[in-house]
Amino acid sequence: MTLKHGEKAAGRIAADANVLLSAVTGRAALKVFTHSSLEVVSTSLNIKEVREYLPFMANKYGIAVELLESQFQLLAIQEYSPKDYHGSLTLARKRIGKRDPDDVDLLALALELKIPIWSNDGDFEGTGIEWYPTAQLLKKLGF
C-alpha cells in the first residue's frame, strides 16, 4: 500500500475487531470505509467478536443495538474463514501466539494474503507484517 498525500488507497487491509467496532459506532475508523477505496477484510472470528460486543457498545454509547447491527451490516467487509488461511496459521502462532492467542487468526489471514493489518492492538508490532493503528492509517490515507 503505497500512497501519496490525499491519494485514495487501492488495496486490501486485514481489520481487527477493535477497529470494526470503532467504525460501527461512527468513530474516525468509519472514514476508512466511507472515504477510501481500500478493501477491508477480516476473519469470521473477528466478525463474530464484533457481533458479540454490539450490545455492550450500544449500552456504552446509548445507541439502539439494532442501529449498530444495521451499521455493521452496511460496512463492506470481506469475510474469510480459517480454511482460507490455514496454511499460515502455524507461522502466525509462532509470531504472536504467546503474546495474544486471540490475534493468531488475523495475523494468519494477513500473512496468507500478504496484506497489512489495521488494529489498535499493539501486539501486532514486530510480527513481520505492516501494522497500522487507526490514526496512522488515516494519516497514510491523507485524512
Q: What is the CATH number of the domain that holds 37?
A: 3.40.50.1010
Strand partners, 15: 118
Q: Is residue 29 within 8 Å of residue 22, measured between CB atoms?
A: yes
pTM of the model as a whole = 0.90
Q: Is residue 129 within 8 Å of residue 117, measured between CB atoms?
A: yes
Domain count, the chain: 1
The percent of residues in the chain predicted with pLDDT above 90, rounded, is: 88
Give the three-state DSSP class for 125: coil
Is residue 122 domain-resident?
yes
Is residue 47 domain-resident?
yes
Is residue 32 domain-resident?
yes
Is residue 103 domain-resident?
yes
> In this predicted model, what pLDDT tens digit does every residue of 80-138 receive, in sequence order?
999 999 999 999 999 999 999 999 999 999 999 999 999 999 999 999 999 999 999 99
73 lies in which domain range? 10-140
Is residue 107 domain-resident?
yes
Mean pLDDT over each residue of the chain, to the nearest integer:
92
Strand partners, 35: none
Q: Is residue 74 within 8 Å of residue 30, measured between CB atoms?
A: no
Statement: residue 5 has pLDDT above 50: no
Is residue 115 domain-resident?
yes
> How much is the pLDDT for 4?
38
